[in-house]
């Protein structure tokens, strides 16, 4: 008798972002895109807005304003696609990108305010 479960859905993730997305239902609700400001605003179903730069994504930075507006949600908001640009991005990736860029900005700010000596 095999007591191991073979269904992957029965396995719970330990990754906090996967838990937020797949167990608690965090989703992308809408995007705000402004090429001139190099800005993508990701509106989540919680009301939280994440901001990142279009220039972080090589296929998006070369796109026209019209092409950038031709996005659609995929996976019920787990991701977003620009079919004509062959670009798919996930809510998890957006969160990671935003968190990393905010941390780098904080570190740069602290280095600029306080001289670091080795």
Write down all domains in the chain, each with its CATH number in brackets: 18-113 (3.30.2020.40)
| The pLDDT value given to residue 1 | 45
| The pLDDT value given to residue 13 | 82
pLDDT, tens digit only, all 118 positions of the chain:
444 454 555 567 889 999 999 999 999 999 999 999 999 999 999 999 999 999 999 999 999 999 999 999 999 999 999 999 999 999 999 999 999 988 998 898 888 877 655 5
Cβ contacts of residue 91 below 8 Å, gap of 6+?
Answer: 21, 26, 27, 28, 42, 44, 77, 78, 79
| The pLDDT value given to residue 115 | 65
Alpha-carbon distances of 90 from 7, 61, 109, rounded to whole Å: 24, 17, 29
C-alpha 59, offset from chain centre = 15
| The pLDDT value given to residue 8 | 54
Task: Count Cα neighbours of 38 within 13 Å in the Cβ-side half-sphere.
Answer: 6
> Which single residue is written with the structure tokens 């700010």?
109
The DSSP symbol for 111 reads H
């Amino acid at each position: 008798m095999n007591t191991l479960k073979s269904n992957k859905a029965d396995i719970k993730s330990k990754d906090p972002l996967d838990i937020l997305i797949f167990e608690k239902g965090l989703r992308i609700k809408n995007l705000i895109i402004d090429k001139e400001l190099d800005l993508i605003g990701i509106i989540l179903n919680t009301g939280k807005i994440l901001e990142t730069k279009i220039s972080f994504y090589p296929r998006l930075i070369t796109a026209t304003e019209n092409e950038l507006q031709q996005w659609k949600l995929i996976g019920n908001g787990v991701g977003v696609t620009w079919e004509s640009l062959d670009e798919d991005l996930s809510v998890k990736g957006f969160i990671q990108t935003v968190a990393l860029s905010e941390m780098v900005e904080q570190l740069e700010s602290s280095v600029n305010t306080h001289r670091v000596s080795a």
